[in-house]
Structure 1
Amino acid sequence: MKKLLLSLAIASAITGCGGGETLEDVKNDNPPVLPTATVKFDPANSVISVPNDLLMSGTLDGTLNMPGELDDDNVSVDRAAYADPQLALGALDGWSTQTPFKIDLTFPSGISLDMTSAASPGAVRIFEVVMGASQTDETCSQVPAGIACKLVSELTFGVDFITQGSGDAVAVIPLKPFKAGSTYINVLTTSLMDSEGRSIEPSSTYALVSEEATLITDSQKSLQAVINSYENAVTSGGAITKDEIIYSAAMTMQSAGQVLGTVKQLLAASLTQDALPTPMVQIPDQPVITVEQVFASQGITGVSPVFGGVQYQKGSVMLPMYLATPTGTTVDDLSATYWQGLCDSGVAVLGYAAAAGDSFPTDPISETDGLCMALSEGKLRDLGLDQTKHLTKYNTIPKTQSIANVPVQITKPILPVINAVRAQLGLDALSMPETGWPVVILQHGITSKKEDMLAITAQLTLQGFATAAIDHPMHGERGVDVDGDGTDDFNASTGSVLSYMNLQSLLVARDSLRQSVADLLGLRLGLNFTGAADLNARDVSFLGHSLGSVVAPAFVAVTNAPLADQVDPMFNVKSVALASGGGGIASFLIESNTFGPFVQGSVLLAAGTAESAEFGAYAQNEALSNCGVLLPDQTKFVTCAYKEYVGSLTVAGETEKLANIQSVVTQFAFAAQTALDSGDPSNYAASVAALGTPVYMSVVVGDGANNNADMVIPPMVASNPIAGSLPLANLMGLSTVAETQGPTADAMSYVVKFTKGHHSSVLSPAATEDSGATAEESAAATTEMQLQIATFLASRGQYLQVTNTEVVTE
């Protein structure tokens, strides 16, 4: 960012003293001025609080410009370099919609922030605006990019956000996600006070450029135009005056959904364009076996006889892979495998077209260029303009890296057995509908595999459902064996969770989530082409557990979004059941009892701070006495070592070191959530609610005594009020219930809070050591969860049966 010269401000301070008076005269005639607290803002010296759209200034592709993205020759760094959490933000077209953030202040010695004022309405005000170069507002499309064009509305304190003091900063905490793709202006006002009861003041830089005075340098004039546009926009509604403003900064929220929407469009286009392969679920002829036999082959016996009435089949589907295949065997070798655009960014294309004039090529210069033109109605090209090809709202077409042959697990009812069990339960006999069995797509959790979802097929089969399931990428049968030695180098089911949720390259973690959604879209379409008369591909529901629930809102929002009358039924999902999911991924991972210590320990090891080095040495020495036995499993070892290290600092009263560690974790959380945002379920929850798709969700909240709340994805997150399971349920508009609902004429959506059970209770009746539930309580929770899911899906959301009220609560 170009430096802003501040010599004019200094000159004004001196010459403004008036006719002929010396500085000594002024000093004698005026009482001493106490130093004042100010907002930190000095772009010339890279002093700005983020989020801040000044980091988009001069963008060539519509992404944030982060320090370090260009080498000494002004050439973009290679893709692997974006593994750096800060650099990863440079791949994004905006900021996180949901991450709490701080605006930094500076205080003289002995002065601090008045915490009451920081938490009061009016100290921080947030306004939604339309910016220049708008793609949706014709008037504002003619205004230069980076300039605030018009006011939309002001957000409401206590409804949309709250604020609080946080050291030498004021923290802004969203209570609901900001709108993806929209721009907001944060304003600090004179209501923000210091401990002496004085208003915080603007920085000298802000005071200079917010005035109408004529400035000298281009940099000054440019920043002045930006800041004046912000203040003009927010004051245009008459609710605030410029005299009240001590700071303003724009933040554009990153887009969410456009890229996945394009994936769906490409899948739909494959139905008519030979160049795009259509996913088709292939189910070859095979001997009839049951899930009961599958369990027996795994050494699992004593299961419900219903599993003897569940037919098990294996098939496959060819799906486009947008994640690249790693070329090495270490986690570092995953760092460049995140999604890449097929084309140049639309921003780069427009800039080049304006500069080239008549010499701009109107005909395609290559096969890929022609494909880009065809898929984007001419808006995108492949002219070699965009080195990084980051996927944004300006560049929505992902590049297919390969086509994967993905194994598909199918189950179907075996009527004689199922009807015998139904008779014992006093239920009417089933017969297969003329159109075939309705299908439930099953999606497993992280570190799990599709076969684990077989545990719920008995209950679904009793309700007359077939099921279909695939593994998430880098799970189960979809692990990657790079060196061909017969052992997967990357498989979250059998190895490290980092194979999928890659904390060492956040863009890879984000695109693992998006690949899971893309795979589900492909599977959903592929069910239309099984050739099996006993499967009804026009009556499909969805059930996800854990990670399967995390990716579900994005899948549902995209697959159920109207596209065209002839293809919508081929993608439609009738009803949805989610078990143990959550939104605000970075926040809930950091505070997860199961994954939190590993995440925090991994972040600290990579931080490069004094505490990082100290923890590394501790892990190699002191931690070995209690944690050494866990060395073969790095996840468990780092978890153990980090707990021991933090415990030792706590006992020793090392408050400064603990604060430094917390600062590192907080910074990582901001970067991680920002990078993960377009794959986060919270950004798709409102779309799910608007579509009216009936959704059921189960959440283990614990009983406040012996049974703990979910230890993997917490129901609520202390550091972020819109992260966790229950906030996601709220964002999707689910009603909390604890008793039977319906039948109703219209489909409804519900969340049920369980006092008993654990994170995997939907699949496993066994008690876990960390849940605190007894064997009987755990088994009761499993039975109740499965029954609720089965009845909800069977009625397509018009009925929910709650049988055991002893394990649920309002």
Structure 2
Amino acid sequence: MRQLKWTPAVVLALMLSACDKADNGDGGLAQSPDRLISLFDPVAASAVIPFPNDGLFTGTTDGTLNIPNPANAPFVTAANRLDGFSTVASAFTDLIGRVDLGSANAPGSIVIINTRTFSALTPGVDYRVQRSTAIDPLTGRPLDALRSRLLIEWLKPLAPATTYLVAVTRALVSEEGVHAEPADLFRVVLSSRTVDEQFASGTEPALTTLSPAQRAALENVRQLYQNRILPALAAAGIARENLVIAWPFTTQSVGVTLSRLAATVTPQPMTLVATGLTTQDVIPALPPVADVYIGSLTLPYYLADAAATSEDGDFLINGAPDNPLNSFWRADPAVVSSGNTPTGIPCGAIAPSESTTGCFPQPRARASQRVPVLVTIPNANSGRTMPASGWPVVVFQHGITGNRSQMLPIAPALAAAGFAVVAIDLPLHGLPPGHALRAGTDAFPPSLRPTERTFDLDLVNNTTGAPGADGTADASGTHFINLSSLLTSRDNLRQAEADLMTLSASLAGAVILGGDFMPNGNRFDGNVPTRYVGHSLGAIVTASFLGADPGTGAAVLAMPGGGLAKLLDASASFGPRIAAGLLAASGGSIREGNDTYVSCPG
């Protein structure tokens, strides 16, 4: 399905209600107790439409969303750099009346069509319909007391870069057994007659409440349905007479950028130096079966560090310490895909996007960053000797707020099995000042000395979490999840995945030195696949990395998760911090439990 054209006036109306519906009044459910009616008014000031909705692409020049954002809300700014909607966030539409959930989950009541395959999703397998538990932000009352929300929750991720059509049919019934019917203005949209013809005939009283400009905007919507949506639904066997509400939405490109990086990754310099310590010297409870090495690896860095210079759209200040909190992966405008946007526009026909998209998938490397590496290699106490081809390697990726030293407890077991273990930090993570294995100690010669990935930022009080320096470097991972710049949070994850690609490609060429800085005969085996262990957030990062790089070896993913926004929201540790951050970033409009908070995060 090609891009769907909506007028700017309609788009603004859509956005006003996309994640924060206006109150229907105290009568919400009581206005029509014997009826079940879809809510659809795309041209009123307090418009009500289903969400997500492809109308929010209207006016785009670069194939990304174009949601009106007069208040410059940071979460809307971030969304407008995406080329589609989430593949996991719920969809919803509202009705007056009390919906029978059993009928909502029955085949035929809600039909969702993948327009790429022209196949329908299966209720109970691909999705389920739930009641909303959200609170109406204007009244403080449960949303379900004002209207019925059909919350469509995906049981599997949707296909990326794909347009879906959602149709709610008259098979949907109320708790009283009454069949659903379309809203007055949706009935106007379904008609083959123009809005002006229907207005002149007096057959649709709802049109008498609209201004000429509103009727013109509604006619644009009607033509969209007549020319694109209704024919597609008819081909799927859904007649317009059977429709209660219908709408299209398109998912964003997923994995294109990481797959491109995996296909073009090149080995980078990596040097390791023996510390003279064993695992037991570092952690007395461990057996002394592996020697500890520290070193550095040069990585292409697609985000900004504190030394970065200003660039349009990044809100960077030359040399500002908080630059790492405000940058995102910027697209290389010279690298253009030969395909189309998710909505069907040829990539060559649009302007370059600011952030990476399916059409502009290549990020611009801003710098080469030398990062610290921690390694253990089996010693004589392990009972193992290095194979002729070198040591096989297990790469360990730590979890959020952790650091590379978390690999040490598993190193003895892996040494006993004959494996070297290699670990680097996630972006904005690292060891604190004074740590024996930290970068910058005497064990690192200046020519090899890396920079901790925390950049030793001191932007918050480590005790209270309040903004402002306290004279102590902020703890590892403090700034990894950044609610004031959601693209930075996304790209911290993608940077971690790209880092694993570079690390894996660089292992075979690593230079391993003894304490005298001379080669000591150890090397890594470049002929066997590298294995991986990811813990918690490290498992999430490792899973995405494995999906982008099919040539990798076996992996253990310990305590991973999916749907990261909801996963963190449900965390007893991070949930309260996220709720407070969203409240602050939205100026108080995204409050935990309210309509916007529950419905919109993906």
| Closer/same/farther in 2, CA of residues 350 and 432 from structure 1, 3 Å limit | closer
Q: Counterpart amino acid of 1:86?
A: V
SS of alignment partner, residue 8 of structure 2: coil
Match of 2:151 among 138, 161, 171: 171
Tell me the alpha carbon deviations over residues 172-231 of structure 1, each in whole angstroms, 9 at most, x when there is no partner: 111111111122111111122335533332223322222222456875554234323222
| Closer/same/farther in 2, CA of residues 441 and 282 from structure 1, 3 Å limit | same
Q: Conserved in 1, the CA contact under 8 Å of 2:304 and 2:323?
A: no
Is 2:15 the partner of 1:2?
no
| Closer/same/farther in 2, CA of residues 160 and 483 from structure 1, 3 Å limit | closer
Equivalent residue runs for 1:729-744 within 5 Å: none
The answer for the alignment partner of 1:724 in structure 2 is: none
Is 2:327 the partner of 1:337?
yes
The answer for the alignment partner of 1:371 in structure 2 is: none
The answer for the alignment partner of 2:443 in structure 1 is: none
1:433: how far off? 1.7
Q: Conserved in 1, the CA contact under 8 Å of 2:8 and 2:59?
A: no
The answer for the alignment partner of 2:400 in structure 1 is: 446
Q: Conserved in 2, the CA contact under 8 Å of 1:279 and 1:319?
A: yes
Equivalent-residue separation in structure 1 for 2:543 and 2:471 (angstroms): 24
SS of alignment partner, residue 62 of structure 1: coil
Equivalent residue runs for 1:547-558 within 5 Å: 547-558=537-548
SS of alignment partner, residue 282 of structure 1: strand
The answer for the alignment partner of 2:42 in structure 1 is: 43
| Closer/same/farther in 2, CA of residues 2 and 38 from structure 1, 3 Å limit | farther
The answer for the alignment partner of 2:390 in structure 1 is: 436
The answer for the alignment partner of 1:506 in structure 2 is: 486
Q: Counterpart amino acid of 1:453?
A: M
1:496: how far off? 7.2
Q: Conserved in 2, the CA contact under 8 Å of 1:319 and 1:405?
A: yes
The answer for the alignment partner of 1:399 in structure 2 is: 364
Q: Conserved in 2, the CA contact under 8 Å of 1:475 and 1:493?
A: no
Equivalent residue runs for 1:715-754 within 5 Å: none
| Closer/same/farther in 2, CA of residues 546 and 405 from structure 1, 3 Å limit | same
Equivalent-residue separation in structure 2 for 1:466 and 1:222 (angstroms): 64
Tell me the alpha carbon deviations over residues 106-148 of structure 1, each in whole angstroms, 9 at most, x when there is no partner: x3xxx53344433433221111103xxxxxxxxxxxxxxxxxx
Q: Counterpart amino acid of 2:264?
A: L
1:432: how far off? 2.3
SS of alignment partner, residue 495 of structure 2: helix
Tell me the alpha carbon deviations over residues 332-372 of structure 1, each in whole angstroms, 9 at most, x when there is no partner: 75553111112179599999xxxxxxxxxxxxxxxxxxxxx
The answer for the alignment partner of 2:517 in structure 1 is: none
Tell me the alpha carbon deviations over residues 58-89 of structure 1, each in whole angstroms, 9 at most, x when there is no partner: 321111111117x9xxxxxxxxx5x6223321
Equivalent-residue separation in structure 2 for 1:153 and 1:491 (angstroms): 59
Is 2:574 the partner of 1:575?
no
TM-score (structure 2 length as normaliser): 0.73
Equivalent-residue separation in structure 2 for 1:576 and 1:256 (angstroms): 22
Computed over aligned residues only, the root mean square deviation of the Cα atoms, in angstroms, reads: 3.5
Equivalent-residue separation in structure 2 for 1:502 and 1:608 (angstroms): 16
Match of 1:600 among 552, 556, 579: 579
Is 2:294 the partner of 1:294?
no
Equivalent-residue separation in structure 1 for 2:347 and 2:588 (angstroms): 46
Equivalent-residue separation in structure 2 for 1:43 and 1:154 (angstroms): 26
Q: Counterpart amino acid of 1:304?
A: L
Q: Conserved in 2, the CA contact under 8 Å of 1:280 and 1:527?
A: no
| Closer/same/farther in 2, CA of residues 504 and 380 from structure 1, 3 Å limit | same
Equivalent-residue separation in structure 2 for 1:344 and 1:218 (angstroms): 40
The answer for the alignment partner of 1:304 in structure 2 is: 286
Higher helix share: 1
Is 2:74 the partner of 1:84?
yes
Equivalent-residue separation in structure 2 for 1:458 and 1:255 (angstroms): 41
1:442: how far off? 0.7
Equivalent-residue separation in structure 2 for 1:86 and 1:512 (angstroms): 19
Equivalent-residue separation in structure 2 for 1:127 and 1:591 (angstroms): 30
Is 2:382 the partner of 1:418?
yes
1:104: how far off? 1.7
Percent sequence identity is 30
The answer for the alignment partner of 1:159 in structure 2 is: 125
Equivalent residue runs for 1:98-497 within 5 Å: 98-105=88-95, 107=96, 111-130=97-116, 152-166=118-132, 167=144, 168-214=148-194, 219-220=217-218, 222-228=220-226, 229-238=228-237, 240-268=238-266, 278-284=267-273, 286=274, 288-295=276-283, 301=284, 303-305=285-287, 308-326=288-306, 334=324, 336-343=326-333, 385-386=351-352, 389-414=354-379, 416-419=380-383, 430-476=384-430, 477-481=452-456, 494-495=474-475, 497=477
Equivalent residue runs for 1:52-91 within 5 Å: 52-68=53-69, 84-91=74-81
Equivalent-residue separation in structure 1 for 2:599 and 2:324 (angstroms): 22
Equivalent-residue separation in structure 1 for 2:597 and 2:484 (angstroms): 11
| Closer/same/farther in 2, CA of residues 64 and 347 from structure 1, 3 Å limit | farther
1:602: how far off? 3.1
Q: How many residues align?
A: 489
| Closer/same/farther in 2, CA of residues 344 and 58 from structure 1, 3 Å limit | farther
| Closer/same/farther in 2, CA of residues 493 and 593 from structure 1, 3 Å limit | farther
| Closer/same/farther in 2, CA of residues 511 and 671 from structure 1, 3 Å limit | farther
1:96: how far off? 1.2
| Closer/same/farther in 2, CA of residues 670 and 437 from structure 1, 3 Å limit | farther
| Closer/same/farther in 2, CA of residues 117 and 85 from structure 1, 3 Å limit | same
1:455: how far off? 1.0
1:418: how far off? 0.9
1:547: how far off? 1.1
Equivalent-residue separation in structure 2 for 1:96 and 1:205 (angstroms): 28
Tell me the alpha carbon deviations over residues 784-809 of structure 1, each in whole angstroms, 9 at most, x when there is no partner: xxxxxxxxxxxxxxxxxxxxxxxxxx
Q: Conserved in 2, the CA contact under 8 Å of 1:491 and 1:499?
A: no
User: Which one has more relative contact order, counting CA pairs under 8 Å at least 6 apart?
Assistant: 2
Q: Conserved in 2, the CA contact under 8 Å of 1:446 and 1:492?
A: no
1:280: how far off? 2.5
Q: Counterpart amino acid of 2:397?
A: Q
SS of alignment partner, residue 511 of structure 1: helix
| Closer/same/farther in 2, CA of residues 311 and 153 from structure 1, 3 Å limit | same
1:261: how far off? 1.5
SS of alignment partner, residue 60 of structure 1: coil
TM-score (structure 1 length as normaliser): 0.55
| Closer/same/farther in 2, CA of residues 227 and 347 from structure 1, 3 Å limit | farther
The answer for the alignment partner of 2:570 in structure 1 is: 591
Q: Counterpart amino acid of 1:502?
A: N
Equivalent-residue separation in structure 1 for 2:471 and 2:493 (angstroms): 15
Equivalent-residue separation in structure 1 for 2:340 and 2:286 (angstroms): 63
Equivalent-residue separation in structure 2 for 1:492 and 1:453 (angstroms): 25
| Closer/same/farther in 2, CA of residues 490 and 262 from structure 1, 3 Å limit | farther
Q: Conserved in 2, the CA contact under 8 Å of 1:187 and 1:247?
A: yes
Equivalent-residue separation in structure 2 for 1:48 and 1:60 (angstroms): 24
Equivalent-residue separation in structure 1 for 2:43 and 2:320 (angstroms): 40
| Closer/same/farther in 2, CA of residues 573 and 669 from structure 1, 3 Å limit | farther
The answer for the alignment partner of 1:357 in structure 2 is: none
1:483: how far off? 8.4
| Closer/same/farther in 2, CA of residues 542 and 349 from structure 1, 3 Å limit | closer
| Closer/same/farther in 2, CA of residues 335 and 482 from structure 1, 3 Å limit | closer
1:158: how far off? 1.1
